[in-house]
Amino acid sequence: MFLDPQGCPVCQYCVEAEDQFFRWFDIEAFADPAMQLRLRRSAGFCAPHARRALAIRQLAPAHAIVRGALDRLGSDPPAPGECPACASVSQAREHAEQMLGSVTASRAMSARYAQRERGACLPHLTATIAVGDADVARSLAEKLRRDLATSDDLELLAGRDREADSRVALRAALPSGLAVDAASSAEAERATWHVDACPVCLAAGRSERRYLDWRRHEERADAIDLDQDPGLLCAAHVHELAALDERAGGRAARRVRERWVHELDGLLKRWPPPPPRTRRLLRGRRRAPAPRLRAPLCPACRARDGAEERHLDLLLRLLAQRPYADAYDAAHGVCLRHALLAGEGPAAGRIRGALRARLAALEWEIAEAGRKQGWDARHERPGPEQTARLRLAALLDGATFLGGPARELP
Ligand SMILES: [Zn+2]
Ligand SMILES: [Zn+2]
Ligand SMILES: [Zn+2]
Ligand SMILES: [Zn+2]
């Protein structure tokens, strides 16, 4: 795999590990008590993996997940666990990165790696170059510099991303429209509570979409000031822009590529020269740290994260006023991720109390959906409890639906 003619071997390894995890989860792990314990500790999967897990229609994990969410909101919350799918993928990534380092450490293999049409991708190499042997890192950085200068392959620039299209579709389906006739920001905020989704995630999703729509327009117009922008689109947002609009995505990718070629040129110039060969042989392999490659801030991530922070702040202030607090109690309310970020105080207590109550009702619905799967309920009609697992995913993290209401994924 490491000497295949093209494609990032680390991406390949991670994709295989992820597929393997979900195959195993679908066939047997969902019912395994050890896996259920892990899911309880992590209160479910992270948002991207939750989207994938929703395709698996088993209810057993949902029981453990809702319990885990209630544990988090309890008076003595346990230490949070890692998303089990992320744990498998990061183990595979570390292994692949180590292998990449050791394969290229041998002179013969390093020469073969350099002859590949394209080597490992930029996101994986920026992580690998910062650690490990400086000589190996230098040869990897040189190869990446050559690859980026000669290839406009999106995987080389931004890694493999298999769900950019579905994120774009979810984002396009976000309910739009600010309350333009609202008399104040407080009223505008309250107007968004009629949407059945976490209001903080919704504000973040809308802000991210606004940025990407603007960016698409600017890229199509080939606006020069984008080159002066201090930020640089991250891998996920380059993929999304490309999935949204090929031409705008292609231009954005070119900008990112040019900036990284420039960064790598600077990095290779600053690289400490290798010590004389004799000294190297005497001292063994040098383990000096390689210079660091830092990814600049992504403006789309910044737009999303900034909106998230501001709207959570506004929400907490509004909950100090009675009419808003009553309206909040009747609305969807914030997801678990945001409830845990709300801090302390009466408003945060109200958020957590409301979420606990909603999760307790969902727990009943999940049990009800399970009951209806039994032979003795064959005569009963499926009811609204059938969508409880989707609503649970939205209550755990609104980012699962990119800020929009829970829905069946395509
Ligand atoms: Zn990769
Ligand atoms: Zn995950
Ligand atoms: Zn949220
Ligand atoms: Zn980003």
pLDDT one-digit tens code per residue, 307-361:
999 999 999 999 999 999 999 999 999 999 999 999 999 999 999 999 999 999 9
- Separation of CA 160 and ligand 1 centre (Å): 6
- Separation of CA 155 and ligand 1 centre (Å): 7
- Kindly list the protein residues that place their beta carbon closer than 5 angstroms to ligand 1, a single-atom ion: 8, 10-11, 121, 124, 159
The pTM is what? 0.91
Output the CA–CA distances (angstroms, integers) from residue 64 to 60, 140, 187, 406, in the order listed.
7, 44, 38, 20
Contact of 144 with 267, CB cutoff 8 Å = no
**Confidence at residue 179, expressed as pLDDT on a 0 to 100 scale:** 66
DSSP for 145-169, written as a single string: HHHHHH---HHHHH---SSHHHHHH
DSSP for 71-118, written as a single string: HHTSSSPPPPPPPHHHHHHHHHHHHHHHHHHHHHHSHHHHHHHHHSSS
Token readout for 117 is 């049409």
- Please name which ligand lies nearest the alpha carbon of 120: 1
Output the CA–CA distances (angstroms, integers) from residue 307 to 171, 217, 320, 376, 386, in the order listed.
16, 21, 21, 49, 33
Contact of 117 with 6, CB cutoff 8 Å = yes
- Separation of CA 11 and ligand 2 centre (Å): 15
Output the CA–CA distances (angstroms, integers) from residue 302 to 283, 291, 402, in the order listed.
46, 26, 15
- Separation of CA 126 and ligand 1 centre (Å): 10
Q: How far apart are the first and last CA of the chain?
A: 32
- Cα–Cα distance between 105 and 47 in angstroms, integer? 37
Contact of 354 with 329, CB cutoff 8 Å = yes
Q: What is the mean pLDDT of the chain?
A: 89
- The candidate with the shortest Cα–Cα distance to 176, out of 213, 216, 220, 215, is 213
- Cα–Cα distance between 30 and 36 in angstroms, integer? 7
- For 174-194, the pLDDT digits (tens) are 998 666 788 899 999 999 999
- Mean pLDDT of successive 10-residue stretches along the chain, which has 410 residues: 72 95 91 93 96 88 95 92 96 88 77 80 81 76 90 93 96 81 90 95 96 95 82 95 96 93 87 63 52 80 97 96 94 97 94 96 95 91 93 97 93
